Structure 1
């Protein structure tokens, strides 16, 4: 029996990597829906657009009329990657984040409640938990939500909508919250690809504040494996934290990449700190490890080497 998935935001970074992963590691049939804004890249879907197990539809999940065209069939599950996700953009204008991240999630929940999908996984972020002090314990699934910028507030709002629909209607809904992803096909406005591409082109690399903000990094393929585990074995109503256990300061990341590319640290330019800049994120992934048997397998050293190689080839291809 064929099982069909609806994947939203499949032309984006994590969504496109996840579709590629599923096409190689499962028998699912996939409908990808993406509004193809700046964050969605047609090149990201070229690798699977010709597959007879995947189709792509351009639609905005925040627009109910547009979204209705993807429900020409029922789905085994909806996996909601679609999101506006760049913090700086949310500080400049929060409306697109409210539209996609909150209203879009609401529209998908309505599709589940009307029987268009058997279940839904909401892909969220560690940023909903706010910020940690240097000696604080990592975030767990029971950590209170305390978002500090419009982006993370919109994601926290969506998570609470999902929780409310589970509690009120007992729908089969699950939330995953992941630490910072990196890897192939990520938009160059994001930190690691920005550092790599600017270094390759000998362009100044901006570093916020003192550069000592800490993030927990995970290679995107490990994140994809975690979501697959949640899809197959995750329980309704649960939240699963996903992390790479690779905490690095922003300055450490830049220094590491410059060393690998044999570039001078003079490329680093200190700039005024971002408004609402969280100091540290750290994820406790023991629950998903204990209950679903998932663990990260790709070290930062290996993952960053793969990522640098992809962007080096991409720069050469487009140069």
Structure 2
């Protein structure tokens, strides 16, 4: 199968590309930085001319649309970029899909569940009176509505997946990255960080996320939505304690705060549909995944 991955140099995109190639697919990569490689295409999806040219020059059976701005804080500090890339960029992808007829997999976020305080089943955003809590979450729900609208009007075929706190090697640190990435980096470098005590997550190791994403190429159910989440439901302090334990450090640089405003408090996922349809599996526990992620950061940032 000929497959395009937008955001194919990213923390999820790069290992997904490797997994798909291991399965003998013909995989091409789109990202917005200059890079080398015969099957790499530089493109900013926020600009229709650039993405349209790719689909004029190349035909694809399936597109994994991962390109997008990530995270609540990033969405607040760089909201123009967030909305241009996420909303306009996804609209550009849909226009291309409507014209060329390829199937698409879209990576949404668990943030779309907003202030929902129950188990997160895929139907919640349309069946319950919830409210998304920040620009990033709103942009991802807008993307999902764009996709549903395109399917209803033009018959486009897309699978939506909602990723729950994917972590692991390959996620480079910035202040806008995921909680495990930031905690490890700050603890390694003796930098202070904040732990929000009343927040819970269902973290997913990168190889488990990528395995399930790749399975969609073989089990494509148009119009479906899937939660890709880990089985371990935990509080944020547990993550911090595990990281400090593996590094042999105490918590003197950790500030404990009850709750973070404008962020989903509890993400208890129901991942049964992904297990049933896509063979989703949770093979790497936090006790296994956190040391692997610590070791990758040590090697990447030449620490220790």
User: Secondary structure of the residue that 2:300 maps to in structure 1?
Assistant: helix
Q: Judge conservation of contact 1:197–1:315 (CA < 8 Å) in 2.
A: no
Give me the whole-angstrom Cα distance separating, in 2, the residues matched to 1:266 and 1:132. Answer: 33
1:38-72 CA-partner distances (Å, limit 9, x unpaired): xxxx8xx8xxx66xxx6222211010112233221
User: What is the CA RMSD across the aligned residues, in angstroms?
Assistant: 2.0
Q: Which residue of 2 aligns with 1:13?
A: 11
Matches within 5 A, 1:169-188: 169-188=154-173
1:221-260 CA-partner distances (Å, limit 9, x unpaired): 1111111122211211111111102222111111110001
Q: Judge conservation of contact 1:175–1:240 (CA < 8 Å) in 2.
A: yes
Q: Which residue of 2 aligns with 1:255?
A: 241
Please give the TM-score of this superposition, normalised by the length of structure 2.
0.91
Select 2:31's aligned residue among 10, 29, 34. Answer: 34
Give me the whole-angstrom Cα distance separating, in 2, the residues matched to 1:276 and 1:201. Answer: 28
Give me the whole-angstrom Cα distance separating, in 2, the residues matched to 1:262 and 1:109. Answer: 49
Residues 57 and 250 (structure 1), Cα distance of their counterparts in 2 relative to 1, 3 Å cut? same
Give me the whole-angstrom Cα distance separating, in 1, the residues matched to 2:77 and 2:24. Answer: 42
User: Secondary structure of the residue that 2:217 maps to in structure 1?
Assistant: helix
Give me the whole-angstrom Cα distance separating, in 1, the residues matched to 2:43 and 2:297. Answer: 29
Give me the whole-angstrom Cα distance separating, in 1, the residues matched to 2:139 and 2:266. Answer: 20
Q: Judge conservation of contact 2:228–2:280 (CA < 8 Å) in 1.
A: no
1:128 aligns with 2:112: yes
Moved over 6 A (4+): none
In structure 1, stretches of 5+ residues that fail to align are 37-41
User: Secondary structure of the residue that 1:88 maps to in structure 2?
Assistant: helix
User: Secondary structure of the residue that 1:166 maps to in structure 2?
Assistant: helix
User: Secondary structure of the residue that 1:84 maps to in structure 2?
Assistant: coil
1:222 aligns with 2:208: yes
Q: Which residue of 2 aligns with 1:22?
A: 20
In structure 2, stretches of 5+ residues that fail to align are none
Q: Which residue of 1 aligns with 2:271?
A: 285
Give me the whole-angstrom Cα distance separating, in 2, the residues matched to 1:34 and 1:292. Answer: 27
Select 2:125's aligned residue among 136, 144, 149. Answer: 144
Give me the whole-angstrom Cα distance separating, in 1, the residues matched to 2:145 and 2:284. Answer: 31
Q: Judge conservation of contact 2:212–2:279 (CA < 8 Å) in 1.
A: no
Following superposition, the deviation at residue 271 of structure 1 comes to 6.2
Select 1:199's aligned residue among 170, 183, 187. Answer: 187
Give me the whole-angstrom Cα distance separating, in 2, the residues matched to 1:177 and 1:302. Answer: 23
Give me the whole-angstrom Cα distance separating, in 2, the residues matched to 1:170 and 1:86. Answer: 30
1:102-161 CA-partner distances (Å, limit 9, x unpaired): 11111111111111x52011111111011343xx3x211111253110001000000111
User: Secondary structure of the residue that 1:69 maps to in structure 2?
Assistant: helix
1:2-29 CA-partner distances (Å, limit 9, x unpaired): x2211111111111121122222x1111
Select 2:217's aligned residue among 227, 231, 234. Answer: 231
Give me the whole-angstrom Cα distance separating, in 2, the residues matched to 1:245 and 1:130. Answer: 20
Aligned residues: 296
Judge which range, 172-181 or 62-71, deviates more: 62-71
Judge which range, 257-266 or 3-12, deviates more: 3-12
Give me the whole-angstrom Cα distance separating, in 1, the residues matched to 2:143 and 2:295. Answer: 35
